[in-house]
Amino acid sequence: MIIDLHSHTTSSDGSLTPQELLTRAEVRHLDVLAITDHDTTEGVEIAKKWLQDHKLKCNLVSGVEISTKWHGYEIHIVGLNLDEKNTILQEALKNQRVNRQIRAKSVGEKLARLKIPNAYEEAKQLAGSELISRTHFAKVLLKRGVVSNFDAAFKKYLGKGKKAYVSPHWMDIESAIKVIHEADGLAVLAHPIRYDMSNKWLTQLVEEFSQFGGDGIEVGLSQQSHNQKSHIARLATQFGLYSSQGSDFHNISKWNDLGRGLSLTEHCKPIWTHSKWVI
């Protein structure tokens, strides 16, 4: 079984449309795919409509990735197996998108002061919707030759504490878990190894996430060492969390693809064995 529970489409900062993503999932022989765009379920809705006319082997899971703020860190919470029509969820996501717009405008102003004009307008055009991500700004900076590669855009301008960083107004972790549960979904702590925090902070994060009622944690990622995986698997066991796996797919690259290299460790409780899991 190939199961990938974390992916993005053009509805947020992914490069493939929902249709193209589903086609890719079929080519890659996926059995289960969750679409988890940042702060929107638009991609899920488009994919579901498309599936009404196209029969695929791959099962689609409705999901979302909600940005939250915790002690100054930006922590991502993935919601899986949820009802994307739920109004409480949709109101919360709408609010997040409004705050994204506000942040994006401020990022644009900071860049303009650094003699990089009209970046907000160009990022907005690239995004093609109200969902503007720092990914879009990074693409603009790369296209204009301000940076020589995508990562440098974060290292020099967009990453925490860098020249054009603007602290966003995201909901807190507890609220994200609450709205995901309101929509009958399961809440998963996304990519715990990527937060650039000490072990002490990470343990506290997982503990609080669990105390807030979080359901699972991403143990299986596409790019991580064996030690990183077993460390997170141990935290999952310690705090009674189910385990999830996902590629965090944004675009096809040398390093990542849908469903590639995903697995859990032996003692994990897979999130798809949770009593609330539907598919």
d(CA 94, CA 56): 31
What is the edge-to-edge ordering of all strands in the sheet holding 242-246? 3-4, 32-35, 59-70, 73-80, 186-189, 216-221, 242-246
DSSP 240: T
Residue 118 to residues 12, 122, 124, 151, 162, Cα–Cα distance (Å): 21, 6, 10, 21, 19
d(CA 47, CA 263): 25
Shortest distance (Å) from residue 135 CB to ligand AMP = 4
Q: Which residues between 173 and 192 bind ligand AMP (CB under 6 A)?
A: none
Q: Is 76 in the site for Mn ion (CB under 5 A)?
A: yes
Identify which of residues 103 and 210 has a Cβ nearer to ligand AMP in the complex: 103
Query: Which residue, among 231, 247, 246, 236, has the nearest Cα to 269 in the 3D structure?
Result: 236
d(CA 207, CA 21): 34
Identify which of residues 13 and 42 has a Cβ nearer to ligand AMP in the complex: 13
Among 5, 9, 10, 13, binds Mn ion (CB under 5 A): 13
Among 133, 210, 245, 247, binds ligand AMP (CB under 6 A): 133
Among 135, 210, 222, 247, binds ligand AMP (CB under 6 A): 135
Q: Which residues between 237 and 276 bind Mn ion (CB under 5 A)?
A: 248
Q: Is 67 in the site for ligand AMP (CB under 6 A)?
A: yes
Q: Is 38 in the site for ligand AMP (CB under 6 A)?
A: yes
The entry of ligand AMP, Mn ion, none that residue 67 binds, CB within 5 to 8 Å by partner kind: ligand AMP
Q: Is 154 in the site for ligand AMP (CB under 6 A)?
A: yes
Selected range binding Mn ion among 22-30, 56-64, 72-80, 224-232, rule: CB under 5 A = 72-80
Name the strand (E) or helix (H) holding 62: strand 59-70
Selected range binding Mn ion among 76-84, 139-147, 219-227, 236-244, rule: CB under 5 A = 76-84
d(CA 202, CA 182): 26
Burial readout 80-107 (b: 16 or more C-beta within 10 A, e: otherwise): bbbebebeebeebbeebbebbeebbebb
Q: Is 231 in the site for ligand AMP (CB under 6 A)?
A: no
Q: Is 222 in the site for ligand AMP (CB under 6 A)?
A: no
Name the strand (E) or helix (H) holding 34: strand 32-35
d(CA 247, CA 117): 34
Shortest distance (Å) from residue 52 CB to Mn ion = 26
Selected range binding ligand AMP among 88-96, 129-137, 202-210, 260-268, rule: CB under 6 A = 129-137
Q: Is 6 in the site for ligand AMP (CB under 6 A)?
A: no
Is the CB of residue 25 less than 8 Å from the CB of residue 258?
Answer: yes
Q: Is 156 in the site for ligand AMP (CB under 6 A)?
A: no
Q: What residues line the site for ligand AMP (CB under 6 A)? A: 13, 38, 67, 133-135, 151, 154, 159, 250
